Structure 1
Amino acid sequence: MKTSDFYFDLPEELIAQEPLADRSSSRLLVVEKDTEKWQHRNFKDIKEYLHAGDCLVINDTRVLPARLYGERVGTGAAMEILLLTRKDLDTWEVLVRPGKKAKPGDKISFGSGKLVAEILEVIEGGNRMIRFIYDGVFEAILDELGEMPLPPYITHRLEDKERYQTVYAKHEGSAAAPTAGLHFTPELLKEIEEMGVNVARVTLHVGLGTFRPVKAEDILEHEMHSEYYVVEQEQANIINQTKRNNGRVFSVGTTSTRTLESVADEDGMVQAKSGWTQIFIYPGYEFRVVDCLITNFHLPESTLIMLVSALVGKDLTMAAYAEAVNERYRFFSFGDACLFLTK
């Protein structure tokens, strides 16, 4: 299967640059696999497709304000750091710009010295390993100085950091938001739970690899990025009981989907565990846990649109995307949503 099979034309003006004032007022394209039909709805209408006994699975990761702007100590040259992976208390793998000026031993100052990063080494892929030097609580300093690492296709400045967080975000560690969850409000979630729908929480810390394009023409040659996940026993029990009772599992986003499918056994039961996943879901994959998917509209030729195609079929996926473009839906992180139903 070729990467180009998942290409579609997207007018630039359909890329949402800012979140809507009301999270749940976005549009919702509902796609049914069996009938190959779709409906144009509002996201608040998601309640009509959930039934008592179903399970809604959300990813409660929290995005770090991982982009830092500072200056090189000694020269004053402007430098930018993007936090990728925490190795221990003060040591991080990061992306540095401009990279050529970031050599081992160099130091970068942020907030007039409130936070200082020392370059330890250059590692595979050109990233850097750094150690932070500071007084106080690192998380508090980062919250003060850091900015949200918005995707490259968003050019507008985000005034409220919390709008790039889900309302249920809890465990810090992501470099990008699980954007399908941005549509939920506390009120909407409460209404869903009051309907008798189970809500289960998993954690997958989203890495920047989610934005990495598939460069290989043969998708099987693509090397999937690795992301850290945690599934607690109590949450696994909720999901498994739903399946035993013949309820449906609605996964909120591709991150929740990748987590669930990474921890499922051969019988489709979810195992409580943590670790790193590089699961690559593309057409031909047999889903073990997920029945329905709530997700945003993804980039052409991305692993995310391939995942959707694995669930409902490539032809239906691409036809739905063509319909969304034709109907002027808003795309990507701050855009509208899709609900893909398989049962």
Structure 2
Amino acid sequence: MKLSDFDFDLPEDLIATRPARPRSSARMLVAEGDRLTDAVVRDLTRWLRPGDRLVLNNTKVIPARLAGVRHRVTPEGPVAAQVELTLTAPQAAGTWRTLAKPLRKLKAGDRLALPEGLGAEVVARDETDAVIRFDRDGAALQAALDAVGHMPLPPYIAAKRKPDAQDRDDYQTIWARHAGAVAAPTASLHFDAPLLAALRDQGVDFTEVTLHVGAGTFLPVKVEDVTTHRMHAEWGEVTPEAAAAIAATKAAGGRVIPVGTTALRLIESAAAGPEGMIAPFRDETDIFIYPGFEFRVADGLITNFHLPQSTLLMLVSALMGRDRMLAAYAHAVAERYRFFSYGDASLLLPAP
């Protein structure tokens, strides 16, 4: 299975830099086996039915992008320089792994002065990122990040414009509860209160799980044989109550449909045991889903349109079939759907 098997041509102007408003007005391509239907997200009530269960990722994106000044004392005297940081994952002992620009200029012991008096120290640095320790933790650190941080927009948006105040709302789901993600579960951004109410009135059930999405979700696949690719690890939790609700839906003949690839990866990780049944889960997962994967929980998926040659395109190809997905993406390009994090949605329902 080659990386080139998951390539397609994408016009640059189809990359969305702002979301649709209202959220549920975004376009939605419905793929039911080989059948494609153009719709909008609020039309989900046409395809979902009583007894179906949507699985929602309730992670909350932290304002993980920071700008400050690096300070170092040298034999020639103190040296200061600008630095940009993007937090990627909390580590043991209160430290954070961090992408930095310029990374090669950082050294262990450097002091970082950030806005509003927030400070940090560089603990270590390797070829890919740095480890830093803030001068505060817990609620105090979260409050400081809320005050001075910027939302960590994906590289393909950040290259076109800087984050602004509007992104504080746009790049956060309406059910975000548990802070820890540095990227949004973007399929969830299409949901608003009226759509949730309409689905509840229709008899659709909801279950929340937590997967803290890391910056590694944007890392490209660099191997031609995709089966040798190694995924980044992300922390997630499926509570006993969530596992029981999902299992009950399966037993009753309802469909379990994750909202987003992060929710899908988590529930399939929670069902990776020898019995193949979903169970409570609280751990890191680096599950890699590509064609040939046997789905044990998910009966469909709501997701956005993904990058060429990405692990997420491989995941949806595993669910629907590679040829079907490439045909769906060709249709989306021809019909000028908007792509990636702030783009349009798809509802993927494999053929029975």
Q: Same fold (TM over 0.5)?
A: yes
Give how far 1:268 is off. Answer: 4.2
Q: Counterpart in 2 of 1:16?
A: 16
Q: Which amino acid aligns with 2:146?
A: D
Provide Cα deviations, 1:225-266, integer angstroms capped at 9, x if missing partner: 111100111111111100000100111111011001001145
Give SS of 1:153's match: helix
Q: Distance in 2 between matches of 1:23 and 1:266?
A: 40
Provide Cα deviations, 1:266-324, integer angstroms capped at 9, x if missing partner: 55421112001111100011100000110000000000000000001000000000000
Aligned partner (choices 67, 79, 85) of residue 81 of structure 1: 85
Provide Cα deviations, 1:202-240, integer angstroms capped at 9, x if missing partner: 111111111111111110121111111001111111111
Q: Counterpart in 1 of 2:66?
A: 68
Q: Counterpart in 2 of 1:193?
A: 200
Report which stretch shifted further, 218-227 or 260-269.
Answer: 260-269
Give how far 1:137 is off. Answer: 1.1
C-alpha RMSD over aligned residues:
1.4
Q: Counterpart in 2 of 1:127?
A: 129
Q: Counterpart in 2 of 1:97?
A: 101
Does the CA contact (< 8 Å) of 1:204 and 1:228 recur in 2? Answer: yes
Q: Which amino acid aligns with 2:341?
A: S
Provide Cα deviations, 1:157-196, integer angstroms capped at 9, x if missing partner: 3332121011001111111000000000022112212211
Q: Counterpart in 1 of 2:155?
A: 152
Q: Distance in 1 between matches of 2:84 and 2:320?
A: 41
Q: Which amino acid aligns with 1:240?
A: A
Give SS of 1:77's match: strand
Q: Distance in 1 between matches of 2:132 and 2:218?
A: 23
Q: Counterpart in 2 of 1:143?
A: 146
Does the CA contact (< 8 Å) of 1:67 and 1:80 recur in 2? Answer: yes
1:301 to 1:192, Cα distance in 2 relative to 1, 3 A: same
Q: Which amino acid aligns with 1:289?
A: V
Provide Cα deviations, 1:27-84, integer angstroms capped at 9, x if missing partner: 0000011xx1100001100111111111100101011100100011243311011111
Q: Distance in 2 between matches of 1:177 and 1:254?
A: 11
Give how far 1:90 is off. Answer: 3.5
Structure 2 unaligned spans of 5+? 72-77
Aligned partner (choices 164, 167, 171) of residue 178 of structure 2: 171
Asked if residue 209 in structure 1 is aligned to residue 216 in structure 2, the reply is yes
Aligned partner (choices 121, 126, 135) of residue 118 of structure 1: 121
Q: Distance in 2 between matches of 1:21 and 1:248?
A: 29
Structure 1 unaligned spans of 5+? none
Q: Distance in 2 between matches of 1:32 and 1:165?
A: 29
Report which stretch shifted further, 70-79 or 10-19.
Answer: 70-79
For 1:1-343, list aligned pairs within 5 A.
Answer: 1-33=1-33, 36-73=34-71, 74-88=78-92, 90-111=94-115, 114-123=117-126, 125-134=127-136, 137-154=140-157, 155-156=160-161, 157-160=163-166, 161-264=168-271, 265-342=273-350, 343=352
Q: Which amino acid aligns with 2:27?
A: R
Q: Distance in 1 between matches of 2:241 and 2:318?
A: 29
Report which stretch shifted further, 168-177 or 127-136.
Answer: 127-136
Q: Distance in 2 between matches of 1:217 and 1:176?
A: 26
Q: Distance in 2 between matches of 1:332 and 1:254?
A: 13
Give how far 1:132 is off. Answer: 0.6
Percent identity, aligned pairs only?
50
Q: Distance in 2 between matches of 1:117 and 1:217?
A: 39
Return the TM-score normalized by structure 2.
Answer: 0.93
Aligned residue pair count: 339
Q: Which amino acid aligns with 2:307?
A: L
1:245 to 1:266, Cα distance in 2 relative to 1, 3 A: farther
Q: Distance in 1 between matches of 2:40 and 2:203?
A: 21
Return the TM-score normalized by structure 1.
Answer: 0.96
